[in-house]
């Protein structure tokens, strides 16, 4: 059995956090099962908009505490972001609906319609569990299966930031609603702020994969949360390929390459988390769905992990390779190609590969990103003819945005008014909006050339789209009837000008998150043009019995994807990292794979 120091001397609250797809939900559920099996009362709470806790246990879990019948002593709760947002808006707007003019009520509703408000509404329910002792008095431990890292850091920062903001605010309207109406939240936020850094009450479990990017993300997250005082942290490396999976198939290059990459990653764990107590959990040959599978995650038995030789899994009918997508992009001519998805699914790789192939065919291509953590230069490792690489700098955009607002809206305000405006511009919800003008410029450049945009992880991108929608509605109101105009949102909604590629992994959680993204885009009037499934073992056609079993475990996720989009490209899991021009070019060349149709070849 692996050593599990994160379960020793448990405090009351445990937070499981990490990038999407690293196994946070599986580990949180497995921990809940083990603790409940020891006779403890457990409340498992998900703050992830794409939560699949209910699916793991085979029970419907919603926004009310629900017993898990197969695990005595375990209750579960999934905070529904949309339901929480609806209720939150009602608490702000309903008391003043009959007291204010209709246009002011409409303005408030607009202000409270974005993804930022949804985050805050969910967070209010989360803080109540930390601050209200009576709400969790029946439980020995409360486990939080959090949203992917970026959202978690954002939310955990809010108690401190909004406690300060509520103390200094003067009653203006923010994306949270009238500041004067938020004072009632001060007690819960202060309670959460007291609980989070207390090591006797709270432990942070950083879940990662044995991959450099995932480990770097864990280190970054820990650094940011440590600044909040959360020092009681443990590292759990999930999904290490077991040694027997390699030794049993000496001729499988992919199995050996994956194991070697993972060992190298563990030998170079970032210094920020290297000294943390660590547990390493093996990759299992099956999905961790159901109580027996969850128990095996923390109590792996070698015999149960041995699998017979599996037949080669096959991809759903109609799936294709990335070369086919590039052919179709080229045929439609210049436009915007947006790679969207959660962090860690390979958006940067897909964006770089598509841009590189279009440039190699002689087209002028701009490759850019809105992701502050993206490193396009490190992915390409070379200058390429016809390819320009840029980056939208969020820090510079935010600073410029604040300066423009202060110089414009704040010009005629008195000193007290300018102070209120400056404070409002420091709110935790304005940063992504500040990137909007640079983003709009990129959108319009796509009129005359191919622009491939590697977006920030989903939550940040949706905030940006919220700003795009607000801008569109404002322009529409201001323009005279019959006037011709084209806003950035109109370009994003036009499939002849914008192709959205939803990038995901062939695993349950990433697919659920991608489906949630597609639903959010639909509400903005945007339809994804294609899905790209990255890192598929099915497409890699491995020889290893263990990897073939893992490939079969992709079947449900791939089947679900086939129902969500009619155009799907699959990239195989590679024996080498797709870094550098040569490696990236392989992704857009005819694949030596029996399951993917080949595309025409280009010099």
What is the per-residue pLDDT across 335-344, written as a single tens digit (0 to 9) for each?
A: 999 898 877 7
Superfamily of domain 322-392+435-586: P-loop containing nucleotide triphosphate hydrolases (3.40.50.300)
- Which of 17, 18, 20, 21 is labelled catalytic? 21
Who wins on pLDDT, 400 or 384?
384
CATH topology identical between 5-297 and 322-392+435-586: yes
Q: What average pLDDT score do residues 277-284 get?
A: 93
* Residue 509 annotated to the active site: yes
pLDDT at residue 71 is higher than 80: yes
Q: Which range scores top for mean pLDDT: 224-233, 370-379, 518-527?
A: 224-233
Looking at residue 224, what is its pLDDT? 82
pLDDT at residue 148 is higher than 70: no
* Residue 48 annotated to the active site: yes
The two structure tokens encoding residue 348: 């940067």
Phi, psi of 101 (to 5 degrees): -60, 155
- Which of 18, 19, 20, 26 is labelled catalytic? 26
- Which of 48, 145, 188, 454 is labelled catalytic? 48
pLDDT at residue 474 is higher than 80: no
Question: What does the DSSP assignment read for 133-153?
Answer: GGGGTT-SEEEEEPPPHHHHH
Looking at residue 124, what is its pLDDT? 73
- Which of 17, 31, 136, 509 is labelled catalytic? 509
Count Cβ atoms within 10 A of the Cβ of residue 562 and give its class: 0-12 exposed, 13-18 middle, 19 or more buried.
middle
* Residue 24 annotated to the active site: yes
pLDDT in tens, 166-209: 455 444 444 444 444 455 555 666 666 677 788 998 899 999 99
Looking at residue 172, what is its pLDDT? 46
Looking at residue 345, what is its pLDDT? 85
d(CA 319, CA 568): 5
d(CA 591, CA 572): 9
In the chain, the percentage of residues whose pLDDT exceeds 70 is 74
pTM of the model: 0.74
Looking at residue 350, what is its pLDDT? 93
- Which of 18, 23, 410, 459 is labelled catalytic? 23
Who wins on pLDDT, 51 or 232?
232
Residue closest to 238 by CA, chosen among 28, 23, 56? 23
Give the confidence band of 468 by pLDDT, cuts at 50, 70, 90.
Answer: low
The two structure tokens encoding residue 202: 């709270």
Looking at residue 348, what is its pLDDT? 87
Mean pLDDT lowest among 47-51, 73-77, 443-447: 47-51
- Which of 19, 24, 342, 499 is labelled catalytic? 24
Looking at residue 157, what is its pLDDT? 58
Residue closest to 193 by CA, chosen among 202, 205, 184? 202
Looking at residue 68, what is its pLDDT? 94
Looking at residue 401, what is its pLDDT? 73
Phi, psi of 314 (to 5 degrees): -125, 155
pLDDT at residue 14 is higher than 90: yes
Q: What average pLDDT score do residues 247-269 get?
A: 88
Looking at residue 499, what is its pLDDT? 93
Give the confidence band of 303 by pLDDT, cuts at 50, 70, 90.
Answer: very low
Give the confidence band of 574 by pLDDT, cuts at 50, 70, 90.
Answer: confident
d(CA 63, CA 134): 18
Looking at residue 164, what is its pLDDT? 57
* Residue 23 annotated to the active site: yes
- Compute CA distances 487 → 120, 444, 469, 477, whole Å: 28, 9, 9, 12
Question: What does the DSSP assignment read for 475-520?
Answer: HHHHSPTT-----HHHHHH-TTTEEEEEEE-SSHHHHHHHHHHHHH
The two structure tokens encoding residue 9: 């001397």
Who wins on pLDDT, 546 or 104?
546
The two structure tokens encoding residue 459: 């939550």
Total residue length of the chain: 603
Domain 5-297 has CATH 3.40.50.300: yes
Who wins on pLDDT, 223 or 422?
223
% helix, strand, coil for the chain, step of 5 = 50, 15, 35
Looking at residue 111, what is its pLDDT? 66
Looking at residue 52, what is its pLDDT? 77
Who wins on pLDDT, 472 or 329?
329
The two structure tokens encoding residue 352: 């770089």
Half-sphere exposure (Cβ direction) of 390: Cα atoms closer than 13 Å: 14
pLDDT at residue 521 is higher than 50: yes
* Residue 51 annotated to the active site: no
Looking at residue 5, what is its pLDDT? 94
Q: What average pLDDT score do residues 486-507 get?
A: 81
Half-sphere exposure (Cβ direction) of 590: Cα atoms closer than 13 Å: 8
d(CA 60, CA 230): 33
What element of type H or E holds 338? strand 336-340
* Residue 26 annotated to the active site: yes
The two structure tokens encoding residue 148: 């992917």
Residue closest to 51 by CA, chosen among 95, 84, 89? 84
* Domain range list for the chain: 5-297, 322-392+435-586, 398-427
Looking at residue 30, what is its pLDDT? 95
- Compute CA distances 439 → 68, 407, 436, 465, 495, whole Å: 45, 21, 5, 10, 18
d(CA 488, CA 365): 19
Looking at residue 598, what is its pLDDT? 47
Looking at residue 592, what is its pLDDT? 44
């Amino acid at each position: 059995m692996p050593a599990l120091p994160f379960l020793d001397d448990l405090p009351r609250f445990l937070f499981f956090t990490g990038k999407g797809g690293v196994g946070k939900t599986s580990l949180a559920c497995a921990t809940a099962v083990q603790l409940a099996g020891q006779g403890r009362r457990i409340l498992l709470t998900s703050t992830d908009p794409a939560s699949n806790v209910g699916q793991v246990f085979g029970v419907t879990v919603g926004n009310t505490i629900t017993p898990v019948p197969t695990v005595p002593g375990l209750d579960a709760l999934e905070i529904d972001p949309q339901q929480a947002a609806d209720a939150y808006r009602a608490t702000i707007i309903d008391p003043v609906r009959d007291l204010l003019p209709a246009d002011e009520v409409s303005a408030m509703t607009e202000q409270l319609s974005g993804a930022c408000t949804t985050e805050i509404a969910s967070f209010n329910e989360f803080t109540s569990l930390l601050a209200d002792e009576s709400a969790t008095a029946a439980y020995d431990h409360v486990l939080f299966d959090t949203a992917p890292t970026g959202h978690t850091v954002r939310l955990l920062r809010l108690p401190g930031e909004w406690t300060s903001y509520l103390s200094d605010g003067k009653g203006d309207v923010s994306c949270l609603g009238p500041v004067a109406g938020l004072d009632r939240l001060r007690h819960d936020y202060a309670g959460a702020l007291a609980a989070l850094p207390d090591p006797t009450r709270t432990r942070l479990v950083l879940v990662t994969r044995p991959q450099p990017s995932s480990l770097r993300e864990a280190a970054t997250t820990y650094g940011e949360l440590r600044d909040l005082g959360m020092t009681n942290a443990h590292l759990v490396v999930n999904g290490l390929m077991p040694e027997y999976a390699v030794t049993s198939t000496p001729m499988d290059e992919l199995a050996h390459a994956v194991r070697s990459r993972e060992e190298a990653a563990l030998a170079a764990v970032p210094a920020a988390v290297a000294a943390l107590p660590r547990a390493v959990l093996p990759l299992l040959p099956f999905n961790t769905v159901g109580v027996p599978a969850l128990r095996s995650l923390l109590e792996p038995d070698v015999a149960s992990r041995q699998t017979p030789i599996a037949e080669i899994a096959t991809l759903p009918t109609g799936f294709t390779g990335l070369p086919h997508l590039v052919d179709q992009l080229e045929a439609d001519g210049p436009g915007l190609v947006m790679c969207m998805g959660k962090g860690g699914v390979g958006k940067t790789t897909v964006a770089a590969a598509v841009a590189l192939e279009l440039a190699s065919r002689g087209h002028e291509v701009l490759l850019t990103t809105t992701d502050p953590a993206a490193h396009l230069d490190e992915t390409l490792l070379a200058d390429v003819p016809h390819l320009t690489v840029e980056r939208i700098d969020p820090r510079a955009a935010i600073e410029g945005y604040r300066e423009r607002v202060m110089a414009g809206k704040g010009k005629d305000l008195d000193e007290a008014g300018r102070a209120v405006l400056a404070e409002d511009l420091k709110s935790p919800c304005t940063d992504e909006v500040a990137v909007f003008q640079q983003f709009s410029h990129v959108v319009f450049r796509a009129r005359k050339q191919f622009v491939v945009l590697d977006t920030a992880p989903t939550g940040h991108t949706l905030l940006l789209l919220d700003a795009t929608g607000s801008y569109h509605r404002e322009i529409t109101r201001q323009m005279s009837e019959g006037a011709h105009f084209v806003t950035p949102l109109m370009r994003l909604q036009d499939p002849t000008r914008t192709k959205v590629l939803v990038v995901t992994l062939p695993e349950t959680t990433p697919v659920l998150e991608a489906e949630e993204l597609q639903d959010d885009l639909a509400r903005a009037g945007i339809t994804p043009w294609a899905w790209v499934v990255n890192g598929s073992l099915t497409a890699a056609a491995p020889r290893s019995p263990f990897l073939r079993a893992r490939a079969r475990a992709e079947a449900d996720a791939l089947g679900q994807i086939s129902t969500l989009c009619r155009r799907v490209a699959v990239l195989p899991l590679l024996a080498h990292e797709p870094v550098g021009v040569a490696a990236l070019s392989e992704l857009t060349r005819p694949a030596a794979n029996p399951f993917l149709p080949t595309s025409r070849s280009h010099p």
